[in-house]
Amino acid sequence: MNYPNGQRKPLTIKPKQTSFSRRGMTLEEEINETTDFYRMQGLAVIHKKPTPVQIVNVHYPKRSAAVITEAYFKQASTTDYNGIYKGKYIDFEAKETKNKTSFPLANIHEHQVHHMQQVIEHGGISFIILRFRAYEETYLFDAKDLFVCWQEQFDGGKKSISYDYVKQSGYLIPFHYQKKVDFLSVVDKLYL
Protein backbone atom coordinates (compact mmCIF):
# COMPACT_ATOMS: atom_id res chain seq x y z
CA MET A 1 0.00 0.00 0.00
CA ASN A 2 1.32 3.45 -0.87
CA TYR A 3 1.00 6.18 1.72
CA PRO A 4 0.68 9.92 0.95
CA ASN A 5 4.35 10.65 1.72
CA GLY A 6 5.48 7.84 -0.59
CA GLN A 7 6.66 5.66 2.28
CA ARG A 8 5.59 2.10 2.61
CA LYS A 9 4.76 0.64 5.96
CA PRO A 10 7.01 -2.36 6.58
CA LEU A 11 5.24 -5.69 6.83
CA THR A 12 5.60 -7.26 10.24
CA ILE A 13 4.92 -10.88 10.98
CA LYS A 14 3.85 -11.56 14.51
CA PRO A 15 4.90 -14.83 16.10
CA LYS A 16 2.11 -17.15 17.19
CA GLN A 17 0.89 -16.03 20.60
CA THR A 18 0.13 -18.32 23.50
CA SER A 19 -3.41 -17.89 24.76
CA PHE A 20 -3.62 -16.02 28.04
CA SER A 21 -7.40 -15.70 27.99
CA ARG A 22 -7.73 -16.42 31.72
CA ARG A 23 -4.63 -14.51 32.87
CA GLY A 24 -5.41 -11.77 35.32
CA MET A 25 -8.71 -13.25 36.40
CA THR A 26 -8.48 -14.55 39.91
CA LEU A 27 -9.97 -17.77 41.12
CA GLU A 28 -12.42 -15.82 43.26
CA GLU A 29 -13.65 -13.78 40.28
CA GLU A 30 -14.16 -16.97 38.27
CA ILE A 31 -16.05 -18.64 41.12
CA ASN A 32 -18.23 -15.52 41.48
CA GLU A 33 -19.09 -15.66 37.77
CA THR A 34 -19.82 -19.36 38.07
CA THR A 35 -22.10 -18.96 41.11
CA ASP A 36 -23.91 -16.11 39.32
CA PHE A 37 -24.49 -18.47 36.37
CA TYR A 38 -25.75 -21.21 38.71
CA ARG A 39 -28.23 -18.77 40.31
CA MET A 40 -29.46 -17.41 36.96
CA GLN A 41 -30.03 -20.97 35.72
CA GLY A 42 -31.85 -21.92 38.92
CA LEU A 43 -29.29 -24.62 39.76
CA ALA A 44 -28.00 -23.45 43.15
CA VAL A 45 -27.89 -20.48 45.49
CA ILE A 46 -24.28 -19.97 46.55
CA HIS A 47 -22.82 -16.66 47.70
CA LYS A 48 -19.47 -15.24 48.70
CA LYS A 49 -19.57 -14.44 52.40
CA PRO A 50 -18.73 -10.85 53.30
CA THR A 51 -15.82 -10.30 55.67
CA PRO A 52 -17.08 -8.65 58.88
CA VAL A 53 -15.28 -5.31 59.28
CA GLN A 54 -15.58 -2.62 61.95
CA ILE A 55 -15.08 0.86 60.45
CA VAL A 56 -13.24 3.14 62.87
CA ASN A 57 -12.37 6.25 60.89
CA VAL A 58 -13.75 7.80 57.72
CA HIS A 59 -12.35 10.81 55.84
CA TYR A 60 -14.74 12.95 53.79
CA PRO A 61 -12.69 14.86 51.18
CA LYS A 62 -15.96 15.72 49.42
CA ARG A 63 -19.51 15.38 50.56
CA SER A 64 -20.16 12.70 47.92
CA ALA A 65 -16.91 10.75 48.46
CA ALA A 66 -16.06 8.99 51.69
CA VAL A 67 -12.74 7.25 52.23
CA ILE A 68 -12.31 4.64 54.96
CA THR A 69 -8.96 5.36 56.60
CA GLU A 70 -9.07 2.85 59.44
CA ALA A 71 -10.94 -0.43 59.90
CA TYR A 72 -10.50 -3.72 61.73
CA PHE A 73 -11.77 -7.24 61.25
CA LYS A 74 -14.59 -7.80 63.76
CA GLN A 75 -13.94 -11.51 63.99
CA ALA A 76 -12.12 -14.28 62.17
CA SER A 77 -14.05 -15.22 59.05
CA THR A 78 -15.00 -18.82 58.39
CA THR A 79 -14.89 -19.92 54.75
CA ASP A 80 -15.33 -17.97 51.52
CA TYR A 81 -18.61 -19.38 50.13
CA ASN A 82 -21.79 -21.06 51.28
CA GLY A 83 -25.20 -21.91 49.95
CA ILE A 84 -27.59 -24.66 48.99
CA TYR A 85 -27.62 -27.14 46.12
CA LYS A 86 -30.17 -29.93 45.64
CA GLY A 87 -31.27 -29.55 49.26
CA LYS A 88 -27.73 -29.85 50.64
CA TYR A 89 -25.79 -27.14 52.44
CA ILE A 90 -22.45 -26.38 50.75
CA ASP A 91 -19.61 -24.50 52.41
CA PHE A 92 -16.14 -24.07 50.89
CA GLU A 93 -12.91 -22.12 50.83
CA ALA A 94 -11.12 -21.00 47.65
CA LYS A 95 -7.32 -20.78 47.50
CA GLU A 96 -4.72 -20.36 44.79
CA THR A 97 -0.99 -20.86 44.90
CA LYS A 98 1.91 -19.99 42.61
CA ASN A 99 3.86 -22.88 44.13
CA LYS A 100 4.41 -25.69 41.61
CA THR A 101 4.98 -28.52 44.08
CA SER A 102 2.63 -27.95 47.02
CA PHE A 103 -0.05 -25.92 48.73
CA PRO A 104 1.13 -24.48 52.10
CA LEU A 105 -1.18 -25.31 54.99
CA ALA A 106 -0.28 -21.91 56.47
CA ASN A 107 -2.82 -20.52 53.97
CA ILE A 108 -5.61 -22.24 55.92
CA HIS A 109 -6.48 -21.15 59.45
CA GLU A 110 -7.41 -23.36 62.37
CA HIS A 111 -10.81 -21.70 62.82
CA GLN A 112 -11.60 -22.48 59.16
CA VAL A 113 -10.76 -26.15 59.63
CA HIS A 114 -12.91 -26.24 62.78
CA HIS A 115 -15.80 -24.59 60.88
CA MET A 116 -15.53 -27.15 58.06
CA GLN A 117 -15.57 -29.99 60.60
CA GLN A 118 -18.78 -28.58 62.09
CA VAL A 119 -20.39 -28.33 58.65
CA ILE A 120 -19.65 -32.00 57.96
CA GLU A 121 -20.83 -33.07 61.43
CA HIS A 122 -24.20 -31.48 60.65
CA GLY A 123 -24.57 -33.22 57.30
CA GLY A 124 -23.29 -30.43 55.05
CA ILE A 125 -20.78 -30.64 52.20
CA SER A 126 -17.43 -28.93 52.71
CA PHE A 127 -14.32 -28.71 50.56
CA ILE A 128 -11.57 -26.46 49.29
CA ILE A 129 -11.21 -25.32 45.72
CA LEU A 130 -7.46 -25.23 45.07
CA ARG A 131 -5.86 -23.67 42.02
CA PHE A 132 -2.27 -24.32 41.05
CA ARG A 133 -1.61 -21.25 38.92
CA ALA A 134 1.60 -22.65 37.41
CA TYR A 135 -0.47 -25.39 35.71
CA GLU A 136 -3.80 -23.50 35.45
CA GLU A 137 -5.39 -26.49 37.15
CA THR A 138 -8.21 -26.20 39.65
CA TYR A 139 -9.18 -29.00 42.01
CA LEU A 140 -11.97 -29.75 44.42
CA PHE A 141 -10.23 -31.12 47.53
CA ASP A 142 -12.56 -32.74 50.05
CA ALA A 143 -12.48 -31.33 53.59
CA LYS A 144 -11.97 -34.82 55.04
CA ASP A 145 -8.70 -35.12 53.08
CA LEU A 146 -7.74 -31.66 54.33
CA PHE A 147 -8.34 -32.78 57.93
CA VAL A 148 -5.87 -35.66 57.49
CA CYS A 149 -3.18 -33.33 56.10
CA TRP A 150 -3.95 -30.74 58.76
CA GLN A 151 -3.46 -33.22 61.61
CA GLU A 152 -0.30 -34.74 60.08
CA GLN A 153 1.49 -31.38 60.28
CA PHE A 154 1.14 -31.49 64.09
CA ASP A 155 2.36 -35.10 64.20
CA GLY A 156 5.69 -34.27 62.54
CA GLY A 157 4.41 -34.44 58.96
CA LYS A 158 4.63 -31.94 56.14
CA LYS A 159 3.25 -28.44 56.54
CA SER A 160 1.89 -28.49 53.01
CA ILE A 161 -0.21 -30.62 50.69
CA SER A 162 1.81 -31.84 47.73
CA TYR A 163 0.63 -31.12 44.21
CA ASP A 164 0.87 -34.87 43.49
CA TYR A 165 -1.40 -35.66 46.45
CA VAL A 166 -3.96 -33.06 45.32
CA LYS A 167 -3.89 -34.59 41.82
CA GLN A 168 -4.34 -38.07 43.28
CA SER A 169 -6.97 -37.32 45.95
CA GLY A 170 -8.64 -34.22 44.56
CA TYR A 171 -10.93 -33.86 41.58
CA LEU A 172 -10.00 -31.73 38.58
CA ILE A 173 -12.70 -29.12 38.00
CA PRO A 174 -13.53 -28.62 34.32
CA PHE A 175 -13.32 -25.15 32.78
CA HIS A 176 -16.27 -23.98 30.69
CA TYR A 177 -16.96 -20.62 29.10
CA GLN A 178 -20.01 -19.81 31.22
CA LYS A 179 -19.09 -21.98 34.21
CA LYS A 180 -15.42 -21.14 34.57
CA VAL A 181 -15.07 -23.20 37.75
CA ASP A 182 -17.81 -25.81 37.34
CA PHE A 183 -17.49 -27.29 40.82
CA LEU A 184 -21.11 -28.52 40.92
CA SER A 185 -20.30 -31.12 38.26
CA VAL A 186 -17.75 -32.56 40.73
CA VAL A 187 -20.14 -32.17 43.69
CA ASP A 188 -22.70 -34.26 41.77
CA LYS A 189 -20.20 -37.10 41.26
CA LEU A 190 -18.62 -36.98 44.69
CA TYR A 191 -21.42 -36.20 47.14
CA LEU A 192 -24.84 -36.70 45.53
- Please state the residue numbers annotated as binding site for Mg(2+): 78, 80, 93, 112
**Strand locations in 9-162 (E):** 45-48, 53-62, 65-73, 81-85, 88-97, 102-104, 125-132, 137-142, 160-162
Helix, strand, coil shares of the chain, percent, nearest 5, are 30, 30, 40
Distances in whole angstroms, Cα of residue 115 to Cα of each of 66, 93, 126: 35, 11, 9
Rounded Cα distance between 74 and 55, Å, is: 9
Binding site residue list: 78, 80, 93, 112
DSSP labels for 73-86? ESS----SEEEEET
Contact 174, 184 (CB under 8 A): no
- Report which secondary-structure segment, H or E, holds 171: strand 171-172
Stated as kind and residue range, the H or E segment containing 98 is: none
